[in-house]
Chain A
């Protein structure tokens, strides 16, 4: 396994853990509650939809890394980029589908940029 794929697994593994923690802390909130529950004082917050979406995108990224499939990895990166745009559009407003805050913007941006960069590196090495 290449270093890029191992790094992709680390990134997506961290986001999977955060998504799972999100399900635990947000279990009593409404599915799309505008104010999500914060995980361990880290600033990242989720409602159930936000946590489940993070889990789904993380599993997609893990699958892409394990299979060495750049298209799948890039799809996950694109999903996290869209989630970052959701924060910009809805954070601090009455409607906030993912229950997210500014910290989620930072997290989703890191996942989108990180996975995209690693997919680029894998392509560069094999291409």
Chain B
């Protein structure tokens, strides 16, 4: 008797809607988060905003080497760090919403989610599982190449495949 294997993830219409919906929700999450990273000092002068949450990494240490990096490198160069976070989170929102280079940006999202987790996991009132889910959702977006479901990756990949350049090869890998 032969066994019929189930369809791969995202091959039926409902799965594609769910994957694209998840990707868009996470994109909106980053887009919303970029809103409160406010230059020029990112909350340093008032001890609020991004500065407050970054300082949690030192005040409520999760992983000593990470706390060391934050204390010795990040906080002394906080303006540069603030701009980097703003740009990365704004780009995460943009590219995950579009579903463009989704697997690459999903990995960037994992890295950013890990950094946020290591900063705030032990802060008072935080729900640990929320951070673990945050990381896991980005891994799912990566594993399922979620931009190929109703995203620009799905629309653009045939054109990338037909043009064999360094950039199109890179974009195919990232999608």
Contact = CB atoms under 8 A, between A and B. Distances in A.
Given A114-B100, A121-B156, A102 B38 contact: yes
B90 A102 contact: yes
A110 B94 contact: yes
* Chain A interface size, under 10 / 10 to 19 / 20 to 34 / 35 or more: 20 to 34
Interface string B79-103: 0000000100111111101101000
B30 A106 contact: yes
Nearest to A93: B40
Nearest to B31: A106
Contact of A103 (B31, B91, B95): B31
A101 interface: yes
Contact of B155 (A3, A45, A110, A113): A3
Contacts of B152: 7, 114, 117-118
Contact of B34 (A4, A93, A106, A113): A106
Given A110-B97, A113-B94, A117-B100, 20 more contacts: A38-B35, A42-B32, A91-B38, A91-B39, A92-B39, A93-B39, A101-B34, A101-B36, A101-B38, A102-B35, A102-B37, A102-B86, A105-B86, A106-B30, A106-B34, A107-B94, A109-B90, A114-B98, A114-B100, A118-B155
Interface of A: 3-4, 7, 38, 41-45, 91-93, 101-103, 105-107, 109-110, 113-114, 117-118, 120-121, 124-125
